[in-house]
Structure 1
């Protein structure tokens, strides 16, 4: 995308806090409170730059609303230096992640830097750990991917290329609680932006699926050989890697930002905190070593509508807590057709289907997932969807093999629910 002269005024305003506003929203849940004052604030990430085909996977200290708050939603998109949305076929937003962390007060900046370094470069049991991996997990399970000395992961938010048309708003008065201070710690937020420039790419979808041969990659970022059979995924599109572009393509270096908007409420007695539960389809029996990604083989000349051209994966997870579902959605990549969560008795808890674009403009990019349908619960009602503690949940993700192999795919389900303990206290 051709870039114009930088508009410094726009950047200075947005990087501080643009579009700060507030509005009164009528009560939407069972709370006795009639109105809740929902505030909005928008920030820009620090600038990122990319040449045609270049991968960015950067970590920053994030801007965020201060104090004890309830987060209703955060959503984001990639924009150029003039604030214009960038289409996925020019810079594919693999993911953005916001992590709330508590860092020890003795040297908070040093501890924060150390946490970001470990997220970016740490390996454990042959498994790459980054912000996407942490975001796949429910908060109580974070220690399963490694402990952070002098730091704790407390909250996470994020999406991928579907961010523009996936509604992340929780029905009020339910919110994510943030900003609660722990003794000896102070709260900060970390922002991870993974964008893949595909201007002039030999294979736009292949670059966005991080196929190793297109990035001319045979080793990970530590110089270690890739595992046998690993043909695409996060290890091949790390920061600074270059995807193949067409011979003679001369695109200029661009500057871009992640623009992210918070909707939040200053904490009060009307708000009800939700609990997070995450399921990763690459772990059939819960959380294991090979998290996050999977590859779907091709099906050649077979009928695209036949069973031969479908890939079905199933994962199970025993719910660590029980409660009533407030919100649920999945993070899904292109080539995935359907994702659903089922209870132990066979009841459907949530079906989240991807929305594919059919145009050539930002937010409606043909063949890309531009949104994902969510599910909104109705806690307190007779027909509310409930999860029992210890219940064995089943997560099913169905993908197409047409045009495969498809690499670096993700099927991550997130459920927000009000736990039984919280419910009994309100």
Structure 2
């Protein structure tokens, strides 16, 4: 056994302590530096049966080189009171980052360059940084320390441009409608759709556009209402010790074409956003046996450590699971259904989705690993405009204290 002097041991101990103090972080310290602010979208005007699906450019949002930690939202009325889903259904809201020339007016679309997430879909489909629907009040979005979504980095903003944010809010006023759930699924036979649609298209986003109208009960009269998307953002100034988290969105309707070109493998995605669930056979006596299973698979070119995951589905959903190539479950997200009448607990609606927060370093996706997304949905009756996408955050490295 080699002899080591006490002085050498002491020097080594001091060196280790200095290293740890300079590279590790304190969650409590981080949270002391987190800022929180509540914002309101522009006014959303609705009347019974009406649809608002507008895009609001250059909305209020934290500025500077920052780390986004969470984003929560809900519909509120003019007094700030939460609006229940059975009164106005929040189909979805999405938050999109973009760059625009400094001399552009606030509501102009001139010169916009979208800055999409790291996800898979074509063009700007599912390119948002945040986005949920009816489940928004009951779904966690906080990103674990010391990770964050890095935005506002001056080195990434083209000269002469500035970074801005837009919000798309899709809300359906279901007061007095004939078929409340049919309206929320955007079933075409309930809406005043005039454009030519495929005979096979029974319902979905094309049938509940901005200014659309869902059929009311005969003789129903109701007042107009002004609503707002209230959104709460948590963030902190970007620091060198933080680890950037990349956003990926995996759509179960995605069909992938893989071509082997001389320059390397080329992947062409085609995310269709929504799909139709056909009713199961009448021979099924137990509705619990009627489950539609939809899957899609493709390789993830650049992997990393999964730090957060959540699914998005509509009423009738059973759950989503993301699998690795070896069949391991990376994350399962299960819908929570309301049981009452109050906002956040509306009976029959998806009021939350369970989230995954893996232990740091415990779940790694390898470069080129083929992932599979499986969406399960009740098929006891027909469902239109069904969605099944998975939002997950990946870090290419771990914080220093995990190395």
Q: 1:240 is matched with which residue? A: 211
Query: Structure 1 residue 281: deviation in Å?
Result: 0.3
Tell whether the 8 Å contact from 1:38 to 1:264 is kept in structure 2 after alignment. yes
**Greater gyration radius:** 2
| CA displacement at 1:141 relative to structure 2 | 4.7
State yes or no: 1:96 paired with 2:93: yes
1:369 aligns with 2:350: yes
Please report the RMSD computed on the Cα atoms of aligned residues, expressed in angstroms. Answer: 2.7
Question: TM (normalized to structure 2)?
Answer: 0.84
> Does the alignment pair 1:418 with 2:389?
no
Q: 1: distance between equivalents of 2:200 and 2:377? A: 20
1:9-408 to 2 correspondences below 5 Å: 32-34=24-26, 35-36=29-30, 37-61=33-57, 62-105=59-102, 107=104, 109=106, 112=109, 138-139=117-118, 141=120, 144-145=122-123, 156-181=129-154, 182-184=157-159, 185-219=161-195, 225-285=196-256, 288-289=269-270, 291-299=272-280, 301=282, 302-305=284-287, 307=289, 309-380=290-361, 384-402=362-380, 404-408=381-385
Deviation at 1:79, TM superposition (A): 0.4
Q: 1:422 to 1:101 in 2, by over 3 A?
A: farther
CA contact (8 A) 2:119 2:249 kept: no
Runs of 4+ in 1 over 4 A off after TM superposition: 108-111, 113-116, 420-426
Residue 110 of structure 1: how far off its partner (Å):
7.3
Structure 1: 5+ residue runs without aligned partners?
A: 1-29, 120-133, 148-152, 220-224
Counterparts of 1:161 and 1:245, CA distance in 2: 22
Shift of 1:158: 1.1
CA shift for structure 1 position 305: 3.8
How far does residue 33 in structure 1 lie from its aligned partner after superposition? Answer: 1.9
Partner Cα separation in structure 2 for residue 423 and residue 104 of structure 1: 38
Q: Does the CA contact (< 8 Å) of 2:23 and 2:400 recur in 1?
A: no
Given the superposition, is the C-alpha separation of residues 345 and 54 from structure 1 closer, same or farther in structure 2, using an over 3 Å criterion? Answer: same
Structure 1 residues 361 and 396: alpha-carbon distance in aligned structure 2, compared to 1, 3 A threshold: same
How many residue pairs align between the two structures?
A: 363
Given that 1:155 and 1:178 are in contact with CA atoms closer than 8 Å, whether structure 2 keeps it comes out as no
* Unpaired segments ≥5 residues, structure 2: 1-21, 258-267
Residues 33-53 of structure 1: CA deviation (Å, up to 9, x unaligned): 221111100001111111100
Which segment drifts farther, 366-375 or 58-67? 58-67
Give the drift of 1:237.
0.4
